Amino acid sequence: MPTVARSASLSTGKFTAPELPESGEVIAFAHGGTIQTLVTGLLEIPAMVAPRIWRLRVTHASITVLERHWTPTGAVWTLERLNDTAHLEGL
């Protein structure tokens, strides 16, 4: 069963998030701005570029998928899907 993330924040330019399990899935339900902030933080987008993240649209009920990969130096995140709304077609 996936872990459900309950909170995340961006504080003084450094990303912090709830402790994540070593493996498995985490599901987060959030507003678009929170998703944009999460993407900026996990992908380590520099603060000078981060304001441009707001140009990325995150539609209501869309799916965004980030995947964590382990390397010898630690975790690396990749953006697999952003603003996927295929599940809403035909509604």
Please compute the mean of the pLDDT values over residues 73-84 and round it to a whole number: 89
The tokens describing 90, both together, are 């035909």
How would residue 9 be classed by pLDDT, with cut points 50, 70 and 90? very low
Q: Pick the residue with more confidence: 41 or 88? A: 88
Q: Is 50 left (phi over 0), alpha (psi -120 to 50) or beta?
A: alpha
- With 0.75 as the threshold, say if the pTM is over it: no
> Does the structure show a pLDDT above 80 at 70?
yes
How would residue 11 be classed by pLDDT, with cut points 50, 70 and 90? very low
Mean pLDDT of the chain: 76
